[in-house]
Structure 1
Amino acid sequence: MRCLAALLLIAAGAAGAQTRYEGLCDASAAVALDARHFVVADDEHNKLSIYRRGEAKAVGQVELDAFLKTDKEADLEASALVGNRIYWIASHARNSAGKVREDRQRFFATDIRGTTVEPVGQPYMGLLADLLAAPALAPLKLSDAAGRAAEAAGGFNIEGLAAAPDGILLIGLRNPIPQGRALVIPLLNPAELIAGKGPARFGSAIRLDLGGRGVRSIDRVGTGYLIVAGPPADEGSFALFRWSGKPNDTLVPVKADLGTLRPEALFAWPDGQLTLLSDDGGVMVGKKACKDADKSKRSFRALDIRP
């Protein structure tokens, strides 16, 4: 993969045309499976959809209800590729009414099998409790945040996950944003959790200046990271930043014309091209929001960013 600096010399005119993919609206996480296929999570349904690059209709699906042991949607929000394994994380958030949703407390993995994926190990359901009990994170007072609705001021909501060196993952929070800084928390033992060996262990939180925004997606690109930043609730602007991965390094804004996109997922193809996916669940389709429309009318947008 090309180095981060080369990949992110992006101007507004460097973005490719938008592509529309059918079958779901709320694209929330994605990973390239090979040079032609990618897998997408939908935060409204417990399934993964496989698409062929540039083709509108899904070519495969992986149902997750039985594996995740959920009765309602798990609110899948982010993914990270490590070798042949994809880690997935749910929001771990309360619903809009502030009620506990245990179905959203899931961390799990799939392995790539050709042009599809297969769940492996077991889903881990204790991540939130481990976060709240971690001594290294005590100054953040996450227990207070976790008691509020996901999009409430100072609420708790996970939306980012990225691979880091030595098998570590970085968890990005959409909310809270203490003192206007987004939070990224290192998860030190993800492989152990999938093997059923908890509890989760964490490093010290990293605070990033995303202009008052939270993390909507974070992905490792070359030796650094590209971050999609957005508001903790529905209202507000989105932006892209590149980050070296060093806690004290300044983030660099990336120029890209996002238009009306609400980017929730970012991934890199083997050829180095980057793709942003928009969560279009709230886009009106006739008189209904996309996520409430007939399945035949549901779709989400993708924007290729060419270095």
Structure 2
Amino acid sequence: MISLHRSAVVPPFKRLLIASALALTLSACGGDGSGSDGSAGTAPAPAPTTPVVVPPPVTMPAEPTPAQLVSAQTFEPNPRTTQGSSDASTAFALPDNFMVVADDEANVLRVYPRAGGAAVLEWSYALNGPKLTKELDLEAGTRIGDTLYLTGSNSNSKDGGEAMADRSHLFAVKVAGTGATTTFDYVGKFSALDSQLVAWDAANGHGLGANRFGFAVSAAAGIAPERVDGFSIEGMTSAPGDAALWLGFRAPLTDTAARDKGLIVPLQNANALLAGTATQAAFGTPIELELGGRGIRSIDKGGDGNYLIVAGPSGASSALVDRNFALFSWNGNPQSAPIELSNDLDALRKATGGSFESVVGVPGPVTAGTEVQLLMDNGDTVWPGQSAVSKDLPPADQKFGGFVVRLGAPRVDTAGPRLRRAAPADDRVGVNRDASITLSFDKAIRLGAGNLVLRKGDGSMVETFNAGSSTARVQRNFNVLKLVPSQPLDADTAYHLTVDPTAVTDAAGHAFAGINDATTLNFVSAGAPTPLVVGDMLFVGANAEAPDAFAFVLLKAVNGGTKITFTDRDRKAGNAEFTGLTNETAFVWTADRNLPAGAIVTIQTDVTGSPIADLGFTLGAPGGLGKEETIYAFTGGSIAKLGEGTAGEITAVGDYLASITLGGTKDNTIPPQLTLAGTAFSFVVSPTNQTSAIYAGSMDRTDLGAFAARVKFAGNWNRRYKPEVGYPLVDDSLFGGKQLP
């Protein structure tokens, strides 16, 4: 058992771009028209709020970028706030260069000067108005006349946990005044948006076929929202003439098979629902939009009646993709295609790593040269001088960024997709026999008219994949194409993949060049998986703060296809194991090649989809690592409903290999065989707090017995016992550059 010693290391951080602010007078708020379709009822005015003095913002010279940048801003919370303010999620312009901003992790609306600096007013809708005391995850809003319409994401929690009851509220407030004298008057709320959307789709209320959009499956417990088949509303605007509210979906993309277009569902009777004179939502004809494989993060009506759409991936952004986020102009006609603009939003994101989710209105026409202000969700940003991500800082230290940009001209792109990464990698030896083939490109992809063919080394065909293949065999997710062979690979056999030059295209039909030889993507399959027993692996690091990750060392050489199951679910005493538990992480790691003894594997858990491994791959449910966490490793066993980003109950456990406990023990019980073998590591503190720990001794692995002894010695570990950023990842590894002995 490893005992505890405290240490603290503050890693270097990237410098945030803070540019000089440019104040703009924008009359449109939330991008929507000035007309009103009437109030939906009134309620007593909220409790008075106290204005605060705004200090002048700190500014630095702006750096030009290809994004048509005019200026950049940083926004801070109002003094004495107790609520977070890192995750700007929707915004509305006010007169005199102020704006209302919502946050997806705090049930407050704040008024900020648009030039940057501290909020001048905070209105809590947990204490006032709808009195929503649980996190709404407010993601979408629009303004019609003097009324703000706002809704939560209507989604599950990030790890798939059931949270829709807390996030499905639609409510409205009337707004008046500006700056510190802004007032909010509650109108009403409706709290069954998600369930009625699911029922409408299942009952073919749209006339396109029952379950056309797969809402029932996407919204089910256990399904993470941030994936192409998840469920999350992040955009809202008003229809032409303000006749309806348009709900813009980040996920799912449509339809249940293709998953390649953005979705808008009109809500036609919002005012009646908010007033309580109707209890059943009336949904109009859905609209599907080609956004290059992206979902809707924000949609706003311009002064000319056209729309500006911020589009982004349904899941996490990919470093392999050049344009994760993009701006589109659209005339509002369901039969017209949106037009991608040339603004390079990813160039702006590089300063802080945030995501774009808000536009503070479009004051003029949605055409090149119009200036608009974009706000960022910076919840996972580590600011200069800080050691934790922004959303985990004390409220007074949190902030988010914004940019004023000029809308660009329509983007011209004639290049086909480029292959950025393949798994198995070229020339890989020891590929697991149940491997899938994954191709990652630099942009969202489609399947064209050609074939992708898996062949043996002698050129003989094993299996053909194309647009007509079943979703069990061919799967697309934004820029990633996954090919799943129908039969396991033969043992110790050479394979290669060929791709017709018409097989993979982008949304515009531009084709990938293809692969027509036996050497560009070839590999050799593995022999039998290697059996493992206690003592064949040890944990060598784990972060309970971002980046949430852990690492383990193999003390025995393994063949490709060797599997280890990991979970941080709370193990029960006796033979109960993990019975009845479906939350938290549970996944299987598989060696994707023959790995030598001494190899160190890092797995990131707080991600979208299956956890990310730097060596090998995983399948199952991700999740964050908390302050009372034990991570278990075992072989064998089984997990129900195991899939990409999902895992049901652990129905059987094989042989335990190792464990590591962070912060506190909670109700976890450690298998006695691990304690006896010395492979159960424990880093606990009282009172319990966020804990990260990492082996910091010699990495010489020529004598693995000696190395294992050093890992088991407490004095060779560094650890942190407070909420501060976890040990950094380099090339996805806690031991970057030292993964292999």
TM-score (normalised: structure 1)? 0.91
Bigger Rg over Cα? 2
Asked whether the 8 Å contact 1:82–1:167 carries over to 2, the reply is: no
Identify the range of structure 1 (85-94 vs 47-56) with the bigger mean alpha-carbon deviation. Answer: 47-56
Asked whether the 8 Å contact 1:30–1:38 carries over to 2, the reply is: yes
| Residue type at the aligned position of 2:355 | R
2:307 to 217, 225, 234: 225
| Residue type at the aligned position of 2:301 | R
Partner of 2:288: 207
Q: Please state if 1:133 is matched with 2:199.
A: yes
Distance between the aligned counterparts of 1:92 and 1:150, measured in 2?
9
Q: Please state if 1:157 is matched with 2:257.
A: no
Asked whether the 8 Å contact 1:30–1:79 carries over to 2, the reply is: yes
1:188-245 CA-to-partner distances (Å, cap 9, x unmatched) read: 1111121112211111211111111100000011211100001112224111101111
| Residue type at the aligned position of 1:45 | A
Asked whether the 8 Å contact 1:49–1:58 carries over to 2, the reply is: yes
| Residue type at the aligned position of 2:261 | R
Q: Which has the higher contact order (CA 8 A, sep 6+)?
A: 1
1:131-180 CA-to-partner distances (Å, cap 9, x unmatched) read: 11221174222111111221144110000001122431110000111220
Distance between the aligned counterparts of 1:91 and 1:13, measured in 2?
28
1:77-112 CA-to-partner distances (Å, cap 9, x unmatched) read: 011010111101110001123222111111011111
Distance between the aligned counterparts of 2:137 and 2:76, measured in 1?
20
Q: Please state if 1:81 is matched with 2:150.
A: no
Partner of 1:168: 244
Asked whether the 8 Å contact 2:249–2:263 carries over to 1, the reply is: yes
Partner of 2:158: 96
CA shift, 1:15, in A, is: 2.4
2:338 to 228, 247, 251: 251
Distance between the aligned counterparts of 2:112 and 2:358, measured in 1?
15
Secondary structure of the structure 1 residue equivalent to 2:117:
coil
2:72 to 7, 13, 18: 18
| Residue type at the aligned position of 2:377 | D
Q: Which runs of 5+ in 2 are unaligned?
A: 1-26, 32-64, 78-84, 319-323, 365-369, 408-741
Identify the range of structure 1 (17-26 vs 248-257) with the bigger mean alpha-carbon deviation. Answer: 248-257
| Residue type at the aligned position of 1:277 | L
CA shift, 1:119, in A, is: 4.0
| Residue type at the aligned position of 1:86 | L
Residues 269/216 of structure 1: CA separation in 2 closer, same or farther (3 Å cut): closer
Q: Please state if 1:113 is matched with 2:176.
A: yes
Asked whether the 8 Å contact 2:107–2:133 carries over to 1, the reply is: no
Give the structure with the larger strand fraction: 1
CA shift, 1:295, in A, is: 2.1
Asked whether the 8 Å contact 1:15–1:257 carries over to 2, the reply is: no
CA shift, 1:53, in A, is: 2.1
Distance between the aligned counterparts of 1:32 and 1:255, measured in 2?
25
Secondary structure of the structure 2 residue equivalent to 1:70:
coil
Distance between the aligned counterparts of 2:282 and 2:185, measured in 1?
23
| Residue type at the aligned position of 2:381 | V
1:266-305 matches, cutoff 5 A: 266-268=359-361, 270=363, 273-285=371-383, 286-305=386-405
Residues 93/117 of structure 1: CA separation in 2 closer, same or farther (3 Å cut): farther
1:16-44 CA-to-partner distances (Å, cap 9, x unmatched) read: 11111112110000001224210000000
Asked whether the 8 Å contact 2:301–2:362 carries over to 1, the reply is: no
Partner of 1:7: none
| Residue type at the aligned position of 1:20 | T
Identify the range of structure 1 (210-219 vs 70-79) with the bigger mean alpha-carbon deviation. Answer: 70-79
| Residue type at the aligned position of 2:106 | H
Residues 119/103 of structure 1: CA separation in 2 closer, same or farther (3 Å cut): farther
CA shift, 1:71, in A, is: 3.6
TM-score (normalised: structure 2)? 0.39
Distance between the aligned counterparts of 1:212 and 1:305, measured in 2?
24
Count residues with an aligned counterpart.
300
CA shift, 1:302, in A, is: 0.9
Asked whether the 8 Å contact 2:213–2:252 carries over to 1, the reply is: no
Partner of 2:95: 34
Q: Please state if 1:60 is matched with 2:121.
A: yes
| Residue type at the aligned position of 2:310 | V
CA shift, 1:257, in A, is: 3.3
Identify the range of structure 1 (203-212 vs 119-128) with the bigger mean alpha-carbon deviation. Answer: 119-128
Distance between the aligned counterparts of 2:374 and 2:360, measured in 1?
7
Asked whether the 8 Å contact 1:31–1:267 carries over to 2, the reply is: yes
Q: Please state if 1:142 is matched with 2:223.
A: no
Distance between the aligned counterparts of 1:247 and 1:42, measured in 2?
30
Give the structure with the larger helix fraction: 1
Asked whether the 8 Å contact 1:68–1:106 carries over to 2, the reply is: no
CA shift, 1:269, in A, is: 5.9
Distance between the aligned counterparts of 1:111 and 1:85, measured in 2?
4
| Residue type at the aligned position of 1:245 | G
Q: Please state if 1:198 is matched with 2:279.
A: yes
Asked whether the 8 Å contact 2:99–2:360 carries over to 1, the reply is: no
Secondary structure of the structure 1 residue equivalent to 2:198:
helix
1:122 to 188, 200, 222: 188
